[in-house]
Every structure is written in structure tokens, then in C-alpha cells.
Chains A and B, each alone.
Chain A
């Protein structure tokens, strides 16, 4: 109902199409399921509008390896918040495959999972609440914790890296 990206509400500019059925006109921006992308790759890439892919649990993000730079957006569906496969997909897409477009979490996206998603490379969240409420939730979730033990691709400094930096500074001071 409301999409939050980079600390602001954004408009839904994408039409999500299903596995079959007609595509909208060539100028429209569309998001297609991975299976359809694989089947109709060439014609989809030949369209005028923007192209995105939707990943569902059980999909193999590596299937997009050759086309990752052609995609403006990848949505990862969390059909239930308890299904955590999408976190791995996020990290693989960002950290291994170098995806730089929008990585949007869709489905059962709740406040208490947003920080984890952000740490796994997501930068947009489609929440089932109204605009300002969604924005508040994302803001609150992202500032709840400030210490991180795991290195991921999100660029946050880990506790370990900060410890090392501090130790190095102390050693420099001592010498």
C-alpha cells in the first residue's frame, strides 16, 4: 500500500504481471516473475519500458547473472515473514552479482524485519500500511540497533572493524 525507499515514500511506477496473460503496452514499466523472464527473455528485453524481475522463495537468483545490469528493479517476495529465503537472495544479488538497481521487499513485509532486510541489501519496502505510517515504521526500525557483528554488503561498520580501528589508534598514540 505504501513503498518506502531512501527515507521517503515513492510512487508505484511498476506493473507487476503474472506468469501468463497479456503484457501491457511496450512503454509501461513491468515486473515479471523469474520463470517468465527466463522463457520470454528476448522479447522482454526488447520492450521500450523498464524491466524488473520478481523472485519467489525457491527461485535461483543466479539465473539472472547474465542480465543483472539490464534490470532496473528486482522484487523479492516474502509470502510469509517467517520464510527467510529472501534474505539470502538479497545478499547474493548485491554482494555476489553486483546488482545496483532497486531491491524491493514485497509481500508480508513487517516493521520488525526491515532492519534485517536492509542489512541484506534491500533498499525499498512495500508495506501493507498507509503512507506516513509506513515511513514512520521504516525510520523507527532502521535506527533501533546501532551495533552490528556481521559484515554484509550494507556498508555498516561492524563492531570488529571499529574495535580494530580503535586498537590501531591507541597503538599509534602509544608509539
Chain B
């Protein structure tokens, strides 16, 4: 895992001091709230409904044990004992006090973390596959490139006041777990005809009020040229992106209005002028970063473990957890263990201070001190020996972290919604809790199979409802919450934007509506079909009928 050197450390410390001064100037009235806003936002500090909110970056979703432990400490000391993991692989604290935030940032800096650029119209935290470096289907570990992107994008002097925020996601696997097609820039590693590994570059994807699947601007860019190419895209966006209307300011609108061919032309023209410049990264430098993410010291093991099999046979709950939450590792004898932050009836993505500390301890004991955050708001222990899985699960289970529901109907993505967020038009958390309870029975979840429900409490779509197999959007109609259902969304390599099923449902009706959709799917599915497969085969009509009948 990447360790800061003295340059990185110095930069974060200087930033922390800079923000401390800015807070001081704000509290003294030297700068107005309007002048302070972009400064605090670029340090992750929002003003929410009830309090300030601090969003801490987890670069490419990778945490060390000591970092996660510190996140737990911060939850305890500066917040009310919990934090919320987000769809951006970050963590948010809901109740910090403004005058204490500089201290919290200093505590983060001690473990090589920060809240830089987790908000504002700048390049945000780069996200990637939570199984990077562990997945059996990976072409190459994307994290060295993510770290290089992190550095290139941190305090980029030219791109700190973009038309709007800018998100980059990277996948090193053909099975896209990072939703790269719904980011401003998506990078997909693959090999060209010459056998070199590089990136397909997609641009203009995104959710929000105008969702788009990203379009390919370049089929292949070599690793050495990636950074000059990114700079070319950002310069074109900074110069030509719309600034007259914040709802039309994302690069997806520029791509949509100008057309991908025109944008490609501009980017290629720009790139031709800078590609041989100082942003070209040579192989030696890349090798240096690859080395930083070298695989841990795996033991040579047989892929079969007798104890593991015995525990599965003897303990049905453990076997269920393995079935849903444990994923194949590239190294024989090891597995990827997903830690669900979606207990039945719980708040999706929330973890308490002690839960964070427990996962940190377990990672140290069983997973080389490596923890990941997923965009689906769960945690991952990426390198666990199969022989240790039972011990890991037993500890997790005691702490309400052993829920066996990864990818199932209760593994719901939900934004914070109107319980916290100043932008929200409806609550999302209570709805996700009720859906989770309705489908809580595990046998039923197994029967339903993979089904991704994603809930947003407003049109900004932080809960990714556009790419939920079933998406739910909470709106406000004359002072009452109501929920619009979309079907057929998908964030994977087969990305698609869901379609609105019809009129919205009241808070009282919506859980029944979801259940009727699930029942319909079970009635008409072909063997082995997931909900999304059935939807793609039969289309909207059969589902519309159960929702609305003759209405």
C-alpha cells in the first residue's frame, strides 16, 4: 500500500495549517461565508441541515488498519460515535464542530489522510475497484495509476475552479465494479493489439438530474501518456464547459451538446501539444508506484482447506455468509471477505467507532492490514486465508457486521437523504430500512438472488438510483414525500440508465410496490435469470402492470 513520503506529508500538513488559518479568518469575520464556502468545501466541510459535515477522502477506497482505527477515533472524539461510508468510497461525519475541524484534520494527517477536494468544483477523490490487487479477474492492479492521478489532481492550479465537480473512476478488471461508465471520466484497463496494457477512456458519464452513460473518447491510451491525456480533457472542459447554469455545467452536458466527435477533436488537438511535455510519465516512475502496491507476502497454500469446508458444513449461517459475501481471490488458499454495512433494518453505510476498530483489528490479524471501502457502502477484507474465514466471520457476527447479504435485495445503496442533507427532498434512510426489513428473511433473499436497489433522496442522485436494477427517487409533492421508481438501471460494464416506471408512490405504498415487482420477477423469470436479466428480456410492461394495473 502507498505510504506518504516527506513531500506528501508536508503537503497535507501545510494544507491543514492553511485551513486552520482560513477557519480563524472566518471566525474573526475577515472573510464572508460566501468567500469561505469554496475554501471549506475544498477541505470537505459542508453545511448541512443540522450541522457541519466533514467528508474525508479514502483515496481509491484503500485503507490501512491504522487509518481505519483513526477514523473510528475521530467518530468518537469529534462526532457522535459513528461515521457514514459513501458511494464515493469516502467517509462522512455528520456532527463535527467547525472550530474543531482543523484538529480533526490534523489527526487525519497523522495517519496520512485528508479531506482535500472531497467537495467543490474540482477533481474529486479517484475511485476504483474495491477488489484491486485481489480479484481473480483483474488485468492489472489499478491503484498505482489511481495514486498518480491523486497526486496530479491534488491542488491542480489550473483545475481548482472548474465549471462543476469532476469525478474519475478506474477499473483494472473487465467486470466493472467501479461504475466507470457513470463518471466524468471512466478509465478501463485493457490490452491493445500490440499486447500493451493501457486504458480505454470514457467521458461524459454521470448521474444527477441528467444521467448519461459515458462515451468512448479514446479506445486506448498508453500508461505513459495517461496524465497528459487527462490534462487535455480537463483543459478542454475548463475552457469550454458551460458556466451559465450549474445544472448544465458537468462535462456530460458539454459532451451531449457538442457531440463526442467534436470533443474528441478538441481533446486530441490539445493533447497533441502537450503529450511530449513534462506530464509524460516514464516506465521507471510507473514501476516505482507499482512496487508500492506490490502484493503482500502470500503463503503458498492449497486452494482447498478442510477446516473451512467443515465449518461451512456445520454452520449454516457461516455457509450463507460465504455464499454471498466471500469472493474468489487470485491467490490460491485466499479469499476476499466482504463486510456488510447493511444489517437488516440498519442504516446503509453507517459504522460505529468500535465497529471500525474491530475491522481494523481483524485486517491486521487476517488481511495484511488492508481494508477497502466499496462504492456500494460496504467494507472489504481483501486478503483473508480461507482457513481464517470462520474466525473472521465469528468476530464480525458478534459486532453485527456478519450480515450475509452482499448483492442481495437488502444490500441497498442509500444517500443520507432528508435526515441530514440540505439538498434532499425526501428521506431515504427510513425507506431503505423498511425495505430491508420486508425482505430480511435470508432464504427469501437467496431465492430472489442478485437485485440492486438504490435510493436517492433528491434528483442529484447521490444514491445512484439511475443505475439501480430498481431505483427509487424521493421527491417532494406539496409538502409530502413521494417516491418514483425506475427499472433496468445497471452500473456495471453493461451500464444502462433506468427508466421511470410511472407515477410515484406515497411513503406508505412504496414498499408494497417494490414487493410486487419482486413477486412479478419471481413469477416470470427463466432459470438462472437475475432481476435485471428478466427486465431486459420482458421489458417494462409486465412490471408496469403490477404497479399500476389499469391505472
Contact = CB atoms under 8 A, between A and B. Distances in A.
Tell me whether A and B are bound partners.
yes
Interface of A: 57, 81-85, 87-88, 91, 96, 110, 112-113, 115-117, 119-120, 144-152, 159-160, 162-164
A89 to B, nearest CB: 8
A163 B5 contact: yes
A159 B7 contact: yes
B157 A115 contact: yes
A57 B154 contact: no
Interface in B307-337: none
Given A57-B243, A144-B14, A147-B10, A120 B238 contact: no
A172 to B, nearest CB: 16
Contact of B14 (A83, A146, A150): A146
Contacts of B7: 147, 159, 162-163
A163 to B, nearest CB: 7
A145 B243 contact: no
Given A112-B22, A149-B151, A151-B279, A84 B11 contact: no
20 contacts: A57-B243, A82-B161, A83-B243, A84-B158, A84-B238, A87-B161, A110-B35, A116-B157, A116-B158, A117-B157, A119-B158, A144-B14, A144-B17, A145-B155, A146-B10, A147-B10, A149-B154, A159-B7, A160-B151, A164-B285
Interface string B128-158: 0000000000000000000000011011111
B238 A85 contact: yes
Given A147-B7, A159-B7, A160-B285, 5 more contacts: A81-B38, A81-B161, A84-B162, A88-B158, A144-B17
A88 B161 contact: no
A52 to B, nearest CB: 22
Interface string B150-194: 011011111111100000000000000000000000000000000
Q: Which of A113, A149, A159 has the most CB of B within 10 A?
A: A149
Contact of B15 (A113, A145, A159): A145
Nearest to B7: A159
Closest 8 CB pairs of A and B: A84-B161, A119-B157, A151-B278, A147-B11, A159-B7, A116-B157, A149-B151, A87-B158
Given A82-B38, A87-B158, A145 B238 contact: no
A152 B15 contact: no
Nearest to A112: B39
A18 B239 CA distance: 23
B121 interface: yes
A73 B6 CA distance: 39
A144 B19 CA distance: 10
Contacts of B157: 87, 115-117, 119-120, 150, 152
B515 interface: no
B152 A149 contact: yes
B265 interface: no
B516 interface: no
A151 B151 CA distance: 11
A81 B121 CA distance: 12
B400 to A, nearest CB: 41
